Structure 1
Amino acid sequence: MALPTDLLSLKACEFFSGIGAFSEALLLSFAEKVSVIQAFDQSAWANQVYLLNHGLAPDKRSLATIKPASIAKEASLWWLSPPCTPFSRRGQRKDLEDERAQPFLHLLSLLPSLRPTYVFIENVIGLEGSRMENHLRTVFAENNYALGSIKICPSQFGVPMLRPRLFYLAIDALSDAPSSRRLEDGSIFLPIEDFRVSEEKRRLSAYLLPEAEAKLSPRLSQEEFERYESVLNVINVLDVLDGKDQTARAICFTSGYFRCRKAAGSMLRDEMGVRYFHPREILALLGFSPRFVLPQDLSAKVVYKLLGNSVDVRSIVYLLQSLFGAGHA
């Protein structure tokens, strides 16, 4: 489907922008068609990274209390990556009772007055079946939006990483009826196998840095390794590089990757011991381009937290292509 004429200068707001995965996806697919004119995040560190890479300083105001007048009315596309803690096991799934869900709830309350044409929402699979999901479905239905959802994991693109996420796409049925009908019957989503990476990129070895750079990654002491060995997911680098292990996959990197040993992300064993994935290796697995940079003054703990909170760029590209049509990458 060709991009409609009225979308040739689409303006977007990126809420809970983090390091800018949505803006990164636009650079890789629709840079000349869609532009982010506002971004919002309360993390000074994330905003530093965002400004460095995307040339826009995100607004630090709280989205739990922001006034409609502070959000650009000309932005007809919203991207939301709200905190996942209210819907995750680590956050004890407090759902609507979690104060971190309040910004998400408040933005949904602004839909009737600001009425963006397109709304994307990304979160953990735990959002499915929650009271928040019931609420968002009610809000969109009452305001005449068509709503569709899809679960996407980078492994579906052939990327050797497990990071399943739930995505919603809402379209104002009063302004874009054809697309909204395709959304409701599910036909709007393109075959995901058409977006698989090259054969080379399906192996973990394609994402690992040369030894000289990789050795700079933080490492676990032998004492730490022995203490947490039973809960660690450790991948043998030599087996990956020499082809013995062609099916190795990293498990989801979380914001607690650098401080929590259990189910926070895979680690690598090389000749020097057990190390963390280098930030550049994680960025590559998430689909960020090699030109993406991280400020030198950020600590390892901060960098890993920012990366763990980010979004798979390929998944966003896939959603944009499904909505606006292929052939623009």
Structure 2
Amino acid sequence: MDRSCFKVLELYSGIGGFNFAIKELFEEEKSIEYYITAIDINTSANIVYRLNHNSNNECKLLEHNIESLTSDDFDRMNLDLLTMSPPCQPFSRLGNQLDLKDSRSSSFKHLMQLFPSIRNKPRFIMLENVKGFEISNAHQLFISTLRDCKYRMREFLLSPDQFGIPNSRLRYYLLAKHESGEFQDEENEEISTLVPLPHGNSSIFSHENVEYKKNIRLKEFSLKNYLEKDENFDIRKFQLTDEQLLRYHMIIDIVDPENSMAKTNCFTKSYGHRLEGCGSILKTSEQFSIDEIFSAIQKTSDSATIIKLLHKLKLRLFTPKEIANLMCFPCCLEFPEDFTTKQRYRLLGNSVNVLVCNYLLKILLGPLATMKRKIE
């Protein structure tokens, strides 16, 4: 490998959301050469990763346990960028919230134990996780480890709808840059819920020339743009059963694509299997409004009548392709043909939003992201 190549380690790589974000960043700008090493132990995710990312010489996927990594491994890789999205179940509202006591946190703890002994520390780090990570013991361990290792940090709680995407998926993001020389420890800054806008070549770590906004518009906020045409899939596979309609109609989030401000809720890995709190349901009827049908439902307690009214809305689940669109995966994203809809939902529910990660990587790397030559 060329020593001037920009070297990336993508830990907990899943189906490669960070890979897509990095590829779009560097290849769209026709900038520096890069090489990505990805590590994950999820067999299904790795099959999808290989299908989408192993067609060139710019990526290598290792099906390793992260706990097998040593500080010597990091020193040999001599990384420019480390990205990671550790398992969220120890911190999520739908998980067990055991934090560092959860066995799924053991690989993260192992990484934190390694970091002080790594001689060639990654120049940049980006971490993504669920809201809730920022109040965890794992977060405290992460921040103290990075500070001891001379990293400057910025933290955010951001959602795709702040970037013009009709999807609410609030996530914690940390951007860090290693200071190899004299290091002045910074006081903890508040975790920002605003989108950072560095001006010119200003660094995100500079207090000057960085503007913060509640929202920026990188996409057209129209749910219609993210939907598949009905002829592209078997709609019957995604319709709700009468039992589901009757049991959950008062608690599911129904979105109408005719509403220009319609926004979907966060899609989790349990989408399709569970309806409550796992993602939105799509109304496909153009004849009846949600308010009109639910006003009629309020006037009856007859189950058959309620089901008949709900049928008028033509409710269905979002397809995996539509969820991938809302998470800003490129249209070229593929799944093996034999992967079930449930498998696809699970893998997408554990993924990152590609556009948000791309944006934050760009401001983390600054001028490096748009250099028209190799790093010297």
1:278 Cα offset (Å): 1.1
Please state if 1:219 is matched with 2:239: yes
In the alignment, what sits opposite 2:197?
A: none
Q: Which moved more, 1:280-289 or 1:7-16?
A: 7-16
Please state if 1:60 is matched with 2:63: yes
Tell me the C-alpha RMSD between the 2 structures. Answer: 2.7
Deviations 1:58-82 (A, max 9, x none): 2222223433444552222110100
Instruction: Go from structure 1 to structure 2 and tell me whether the alpha carbon gap of 1:233 and 1:101 turns closer, same or farther (over 3 Å shift).
Output: same
Deviations 1:215-259 (A, max 9, x none): 4452221112211222211223xxx2xx4x111111000011121
Stretches of structure 1 that go unaligned for 5 or more consecutive residues are 1-6
Q: Secondary structure at the residue paired with 1:58? A: strand
Q: Distance in 1 between matches of 2:112 and 2:209?
A: 23
Please state if 1:102 is matched with 2:106: yes
Q: Secondary structure at the residue paired with 1:24? A: helix
In the alignment, what sits opposite 1:3?
A: none
In the alignment, what sits opposite 1:75?
A: 79
1:153 Cα offset (Å): 0.6
In the alignment, is the contact (CA less than 8 A) between 1:12 and 1:34 conserved in 2? no
Q: Distance in 2 between matches of 1:176 and 1:265?
A: 47
Deviations 1:91-110 (A, max 9, x none): 13211111111111111222
Q: How many residues align?
A: 314
TM-score (norm 1): 0.86
Instruction: Decide which of 220, 239, 247 is 2:261's aligned counterpart.
Output: 247
Q: Distance in 2 between matches of 1:151 and 1:98?
A: 23
Taking the TM superposition and a 5 Å limit, the aligned residue runs for 1:170-249 are 170-174=176-180, 182-184=203-205, 196-198=217-219, 201-216=220-235, 217-236=237-256, 240=257, 243=258, 245-249=259-263
> Looking at CA atoms only, which structure, 1 or 2, has the larger radius of gyration?
2
Instruction: Go from structure 1 to structure 2 and tell me whether the alpha carbon gap of 1:303 and 1:141 turns closer, same or farther (over 3 Å shift).
Output: same
In the alignment, what sits opposite 1:89?
A: 93
Q: Secondary structure at the residue paired with 2:361? A: helix
Q: Distance in 2 between matches of 1:266 and 1:306?
A: 17
Instruction: Go from structure 1 to structure 2 and tell me whether the alpha carbon gap of 1:87 and 1:257 turns closer, same or farther (over 3 Å shift).
Output: same
Instruction: Decide which of 27, 39, 42 is 2:23's aligned counterpart.
Output: 27
Q: Which moved more, 1:11-20 or 1:102-111?
A: 102-111
In the alignment, is the contact (CA less than 8 A) between 1:121 and 1:169 conserved in 2? yes
Q: Distance in 1 between matches of 2:216 and 2:358?
A: 9
Q: Distance in 2 between matches of 1:325 and 1:182?
A: 6
In the alignment, is the contact (CA less than 8 A) between 1:149 and 1:166 conserved in 2? yes
Stretches of structure 2 that go unaligned for 5 or more consecutive residues are 187-201, 286-310, 372-376
In the alignment, what sits opposite 2:288?
A: none
Q: Distance in 2 between matches of 1:101 and 1:130?
A: 12
In the alignment, is the contact (CA less than 8 A) between 1:157 and 1:196 conserved in 2? yes
Q: Distance in 2 between matches of 1:188 and 1:77?
A: 24
